[in-house]
Amino acid sequence: MPTPPKDLLASKTVLHPRNPHRERYDFAQLTQASPPLAGFVSVNKFGDASIDFANPEAVKALNQALLKQFYGIAHWDIPAGYLCPPIPGRADYVHYVADLLAGSNGGVLPPGKRISVLDIGVGANCIYPIIGHQAYGWRFVGSETDPVALRAARNIVAANLALQGSIDCRPQPDANHM
């Protein structure tokens, strides 16, 4: 009989200490934050609530719930076939970038709009700007060559007041000039 994952790893200790996703997903809280997720949650063979991570719609619903609960993002949607990134891993990258910046700032994490970040290839999901702005208040310019992805990223920013004025998604018509 397989060992239940909760006995193997109570928390995701490999994630950055400031990453709010270090613990197992609390699907009761997540479905409360985003009720559409409930349609994808079931009990797995270990007796835990989970989703089918091979189902892109379930992963998208999980991302929407995580972004709503942890980052205050009311609207997040991506077109079918576009990258639906794992939020915990992307948050880790942002927290490690903050650590690198702190190393050049006397050990102090640099919050606020004095930090401007260029996200080359922001994608339809706009995930790094969302997390970086919501976690640290940083400003972002996201460049994108794909007009569908650019439109989706701009729609996310436009639909979330907290992101407006801090994330600017711009077209880059020539991929050779990224």
Q: pLDDT, tens digit, for every residue of 147-172?
A: 999 999 999 999 999 999 999 999 99
β-strand partners of 42: 50
- The answer to whether residue 124 scores a pLDDT higher than 80 is yes
Token reading at 9: 């790893």
Which segment of 7-11, 79-83, 89-93, 169-173 scores lowest on mean pLDDT? Answer: 7-11
Where are the chain's structural domains? 5-177
Helices 87-103 and 56-71, interaxial angle, to 10°?
40
**Mean pLDDT computed over every residue of the chain:** 93
Question: Confidence band (pLDDT; 50, 70, 90) for 7?
Answer: very low
Residue 170 has what pLDDT? Answer: 98
pLDDT at position 12, please?
A: 59
SS3 for 142?
strand
pLDDT band at 62 (very low <50, low <70, confident <90, very high): very high
Residue closest to 40 by CA, chosen among 8, 6, 84: 84
Could you tell me how far CA 67 lies from the centroid of its own chain?
A: 6
Confirm or reject CATH 3.40.50.10170 for domain 5-177, answering yes or no.
no
Residue 9 confidence (pLDDT) above 70:
no
What's the average model confidence in pLDDT over 50-69? 98
In the chain, % of residues over pLDDT 70: 92
Q: Are 85 and 125 in contact (CB under 8 A)?
A: yes
pLDDT at 113 (0 to 100)? 87
List pLDDT tens digits, range 66-80.
Answer: 999 999 999 999 999
Does this model's pTM top 0.75? My answer is: yes
